[in-house]
Chains A and B, each alone.
Chain A
């Protein structure tokens, strides 16, 4: 599969402060890559280094196979991006803004402006100026400007922050449509993990300026499959009972907790057998690891105990 973007050991220092440390990640054609991290983890800095608003201190960034000089800048014309907040000319309407940017980009297709406005759903905003747009409309405007060049690769920095639930769904549908109908590769950063989970096909988890894990959605779903969480007073005895029931796939987590990954035995049957064998059942429930829990586990596993 073709690599659209490759970061190899990228570091960035501001003075003495290291913001990115040996970041390596790869984005393939057609990916929707979710960059996950807390506020201040370095997500925006990574995106800014990719589009050369910031120069990395060390490491190499390869975009569409090019990593250096003006050829790299030229490849940026194949990307579209919204970094931090979407910006446009305050005094102009949505249509006027797109005409303005199409003139600067030298877009010659006269239908590009109207097509793009229609695609993002801003074709009926009339004479309303950008400064009077809602946040959702501004995000769509930012997306429209980014799409004007018909990019192959879209880079979005926290695009759903502050949007209302309906605007979030609309924005998600737009991105999915771009990915599915135009095979557009998308890099999207967010700390709203539930939303990102519905969108992304791969995830990169960033903590303290370092990528601590890259995982595909399929791999994550395999790892986060459902299990039975069993809390008992005597786990040693309980594991014997589970074996007698034919259950082999379980894990003792601590002095009271056992996770059972074999789901062909009902909770009722397990409870009944444990009680019959004088094991006190404190709780028994079906659980599943979501992206947020996975992220939290991973971050805590790296020695960072702060809450998400």
Chain B
């Protein structure tokens, strides 16, 4: 697992695509925080509307809070790195090089999952790191309170969980179809589809707990009761576990 992380880190550091993706992430964050402009993706815009009357200068703490609304952009900035490290393995069939030389399919799956989690963490660090330093150096850092530290940490952990949940569906699709295009399409379509279904079937209460993209954007500003939050976490954890088990099962059965 650690060898795979070492190898894929080397692979990313020697790929132009990695630097282009990280450049775009930094530009996106700096453009937002230095111009005080927020954007969001998807059909849910309630949080954005709530924040649009915010006109005062952003310091680092305020920027961190406000940029939580844009965290779902990370889906599209994790996607290229996920494809580079895992998607191409399937579309080019280079998994053969590893599976034919003593690596079990289970080990391969968990190693690639570990690489994916590393990428998620990297993008979150870069996203919030750039936000904090970019605004902090320009407008000051603001007052860092323990309460803020706790809440932003909880928010980021929840956002990471929900992003992993979205990608766990993409990983399942990738291991079933071996198609990078289908996996990319799933990553983009799945959250939108859930949002649309949630809007159409608004009487079916449980669908909203699978609307991971909206909860990523609203994680800081929406007050959720302990029970609602538990349901969201259970839905995300359940999705991760079920998709993980199914991916392993399908992968172990497959003739490669």
| Known contacts A53-B256, A84-B93, A88-B97; is-contact A73 B7 (Cβ 8 Å) | no
* A48-98 with Cβ < 8 A to chain B: 48, 51-55, 70, 73-81, 83-84, 87-92, 96
Q: In the bound complex, do residue A91 and residue B7 qualify as a contact, i.e. CB atoms below 8 Å apart?
A: no
Interchain CB contact (< 8 A) of B99 among A53, A89, A96: A53
Residues of A within 8 A of B6 (CB): 103-104
Instruction: Give the complex CA separation of A87 and B16 in angstroms.
Output: 20
Q: In the bound complex, do residue B10 and residue A100 qualify as a contact, i.e. CB atoms below 8 Å apart?
A: yes
Asked if A106 is an interface residue, CB under 8 A from chain B, the answer is: yes
| Known contacts A79-B101, A149-B101; is-contact A104 B4 (Cβ 8 Å) | yes
Instruction: Give the complex CA separation of A96 and B104 in angstroms.
Output: 24
Interchain CB contact (< 8 A) of A104 among B96, B98, B104: B98
Q: In the bound complex, do residue B96 and residue A87 qualify as a contact, i.e. CB atoms below 8 Å apart?
A: yes
Chain A interface bracket (under 10, 10 to 19, 20 to 34, 35 or more): 35 or more
Q: In the bound complex, do residue B14 and residue A91 qualify as a contact, i.e. CB atoms below 8 Å apart?
A: yes
Asked if A286 is an interface residue, CB under 8 A from chain B, the answer is: no
| Known contacts A53-B256, A73-B104, A104-B4; is-contact A145 B11 (Cβ 8 Å) | no
Q: In the bound complex, do residue A54 and residue B256 qualify as a contact, i.e. CB atoms below 8 Å apart?
A: yes
Per-residue interface assignment for chain B, residues 89 to 106, with 1 indicating a CB less than 8 Å from any chain A CB and 0 otherwise: 000111011111111100
Residues of A within 8 A of B96 (CB): 53, 81, 83-84, 87
Instruction: Give the complex CA separation of A55 and B255 in angstroms.
Output: 7
Q: In the bound complex, do residue B15 and residue A91 qualify as a contact, i.e. CB atoms below 8 Å apart?
A: yes
Residues of A within 8 A of B256 (CB): 48, 53-54
| Known contacts A14-B255, A53-B256, A91-B16; is-contact A76 B7 (Cβ 8 Å) | no
Asked if A101 is an interface residue, CB under 8 A from chain B, the answer is: yes
Q: In the bound complex, do residue A100 and residue B102 qualify as a contact, i.e. CB atoms below 8 Å apart?
A: no
Beta-carbon nearest neighbor of B97 in chain A = A145
Asked if A213 is an interface residue, CB under 8 A from chain B, the answer is: no
Residues of B within 8 A of A53 (CB): 96, 99-100, 255-256
Residues of B within 8 A of A83 (CB): 96, 100
Asked if A99 is an interface residue, CB under 8 A from chain B, the answer is: yes
Instruction: Give the complex CA separation of A89 and B84 in angstroms.
Output: 9
Q: B118 to nearest A CB, angstroms? A: 14
Asked if A105 is an interface residue, CB under 8 A from chain B, the answer is: yes
Beta-carbon nearest neighbor of B84 in chain A = A91
Beta-carbon nearest neighbor of A91 in chain B = B15
Q: In the bound complex, do residue A89 and residue B94 qualify as a contact, i.e. CB atoms below 8 Å apart?
A: yes
Residues of B within 8 A of A89 (CB): 11, 88, 94
Instruction: Give the complex CA separation of A307 and B255 in angstroms.
Output: 30
* B1-42 with Cβ < 8 A to chain A: 3-4, 6-7, 10-11, 14-17
| Known contacts A87-B94, A89-B11, A100-B11; is-contact A51 B100 (Cβ 8 Å) | yes
Q: In the bound complex, do residue B100 and residue A76 qualify as a contact, i.e. CB atoms below 8 Å apart?
A: yes
Q: In the bound complex, do residue B99 and residue A101 qualify as a contact, i.e. CB atoms below 8 Å apart?
A: no
Q: In the bound complex, do residue B255 and residue A54 qualify as a contact, i.e. CB atoms below 8 Å apart?
A: yes
Residues of A within 8 A of B100 (CB): 51-53, 76, 79, 81, 83, 155
Q: A300 to nearest B CB, angstroms? A: 31
Residues of B within 8 A of A151 (CB): 101
User: Which A residues fall within an 8 A CB radius of B?
Assistant: 14, 48, 51-55, 70, 73-81, 83-84, 87-92, 96, 99-101, 103-106, 145-146, 149, 151, 155
4 new A-B contacts at CB < 8 Å, known A81-B96, A81-B100, A91-B14: A52-B100, A75-B102, A76-B102, A87-B96
Q: Which 3 A-B pairs have the closest CB atoms?
A: A77-B102, A104-B7, A51-B100
